[in-house]
Amino acid sequence: MNELFKTAEEKMNKSVAALEKEYGSIRAGRANPAILDRVTVDYYGTPTPIIQMAAVSVPEARMLQIQPWDASTLKDIEKAILASDIGITPANDGKIIRINFPPLTEERRKDLCKEISKMAEDSKVAIRSIRRDVNDKLKAMKKNSEITEDDVKKGETDIQKLTDKFVKKIDEVADSKEKEIMSL
């Protein structure tokens, strides 16, 4: 039973970490190289992340600068950024690509907050799914006479406490991201 809870806790931690990584890729008025994480460039037939093809820097608070190591990939990187869902048009000067982040409008902030809430809710669903799996395994163990009815009740209580802890953690992460968006 302890191993079951340990595995569940690891999975829940991974769900929270995945949510935080997803939040990092949200474009929030400030330049953040993490928004390029999902953008891949077709490099000699292989989808390659921009981070592996170029030096990405933040020279100003609202600007990303991408300097490819291979100058021939400049156009391909620019096309990949245009085709992505980040919604920003890159500026190419022949050697470097610059991406300027305009300040967020109030409407865009509200949209981002809705998106943040939806992502948080999806993570909560994943956490609850892990809880359901553990409860099902506990019942199966009871059916196979591996544990007693009292063990099942205690296990269900413990997994509920663990679930509540991680749901609260998700709410905290989402709240801090929303505050960050609204303060920009």
Each residue's pLDDT expressed in tens, for the chain with a length of 184 residues: 888 999 999 999 999 999 988 887 776 666 778 778 878 888 888 888 888 889 998 888 788 899 999 888 898 998 888 888 777 788 888 889 998 887 778 888 888 889 899 999 999 999 999 999 999 999 999 999 888 899 999 999 999 999 999 999 999 999 998 888 887 6
CATH number at residue 95: 3.30.1360.40
Q: Which domain holds residue 6?
A: 2-24+105-183
Same domain, yes or no: 71 and 127: no
Considering the entire predicted model, what is its pTM? Answer: 0.70
Instruction: State how many domains the chain has.
Output: 2
| pLDDT at 28 (0 to 100) | 63
Q: How far is residue 20's CA from residue 10's CA, in Å, rounded to a whole number?
A: 15
| pLDDT at 168 (0 to 100) | 95
Q: How far is residue 87's CA from residue 70's CA, in Å, rounded to a whole number?
A: 25
Same domain, yes or no: 82 and 139: no
Name residue 109's amino acid: R
Sign of CA dihedral 28, 19, 127, 12: negative
Residues 6+ apart with CB under 8 A from 66: 36, 50, 54, 55, 56, 77, 90, 96, 97, 98, 99
Exposure letters 111-140 (e unless 16+ CB within 10 A, then b):
ebbeebeebbeebbebbeebbeebbebbee
Closest by CA position to 8, among listed 130, 106, 101: 130
Same domain, yes or no: 79 and 109: no
Same domain, yes or no: 87 and 120: no
Same domain, yes or no: 47 and 77: yes
Going by the DSSP 8-state scheme, the letter that residue 50 receives in this structure is G
